[in-house]
Amino acid sequence: MSKITLPSSFHMDDKIILITGAGDGIGKAVALACGKAGATVILLGKTVQKLELVYDEIIRLGGPEPAIYPMNFEGASADDYQELQTNIDKAFGRLDALFNNAGWLGASSPIELYDVELWYKVMQVNLNAPFMLSKACIPLLKKSESACIVFNTDNKQTAYWGAYSVAKAGAANLMGLLSKELESRHIPVNAFDPVAVRTNFRTRAFPGEDPSQLPVPDEVAKYYVTLLSGDIEQTGQVFVAEDFAG
Taking 70 as the threshold, does the pLDDT of residue 201 lie above it?
Answer: no
Write the burial class of residue 156 (CB in 10 Å: 0-12 exposed, 13-18 middle, 19+ buried). Answer: middle
Helix axes 129-141, 162-181, angle to 10 degrees: 20
Write the burial class of residue 219 (CB in 10 Å: 0-12 exposed, 13-18 middle, 19+ buried). Answer: middle
Q: Which residue has the higher pLDDT, 110 or 216?
A: 110
**Could you report the per-residue pLDDT of 80-90, keeping only the tens digit for each?**
999 999 999 99
Mean pLDDT, residues 160-164 taken together = 90
121: phi then psi, degrees, rounded to nearest 5: -65, -45
Distance (Å, whole) CA 63 – CA 24 = 18
**Structural domain tally of the chain?**
1
Mean pLDDT, residues 193-220 taken together = 68
Mean pLDDT, residues 98-105 taken together = 94
107: phi then psi, degrees, rounded to nearest 5: -145, 150
Distance (Å, whole) CA 186 – CA 189 = 9
Taking 60 as the threshold, does the pLDDT of residue 163 lie above it?
Answer: yes
Q: What is the pTM of this model?
A: 0.93
CB 19 within 8 A of CB 210: no
**Domain span including residue 93:** 4-245
For the chain, the three-class secondary structure string (H helix, E strand, C coil) is CCCEECCCCCCCCCCEEEEECCCCHHHHHHHHHHHHCCCEEEEEECCHHHHHHHHHHHHHCCCCCCEEEECCCCCCCHHHHHHHHHHHHHHHCCCCEEEECCCCCCCCCCHHHCCHHHHHHHHHHHHHHHHHHHHHHHHHHCCCCCCEEEEECCCCCCCCCHHHHHHHHHHHHHHHHHHHHCHHHCCCEEEECCCCCCCHHHHHHCCCCCHHHCCCHHHHHHHHHHHHCCCCCCCCCEECHHHEEC
**pLDDT score for 206:** 59
**Active site amino acids:** 164
- Whole-number mean pLDDT of the chain? 92
**pLDDT score for 14:** 92
Bridge partners of 20, per DSSP, are 44
Taking 60 as the threshold, does the pLDDT of residue 205 lie above it?
Answer: no
Distance (Å, whole) CA 189 – CA 21 = 19
Taking 80 as the threshold, does the pLDDT of residue 75 lie above it?
Answer: yes
**What is the CB neighbour count within 10 angstroms for residue 197?**
19
Percent of the chain with pLDDT over 90: 74
Mean pLDDT, residues 180-187 taken together = 96
**pLDDT score for 208:** 61
**CATH label of the domain that carries residue 203:** 3.40.50.720
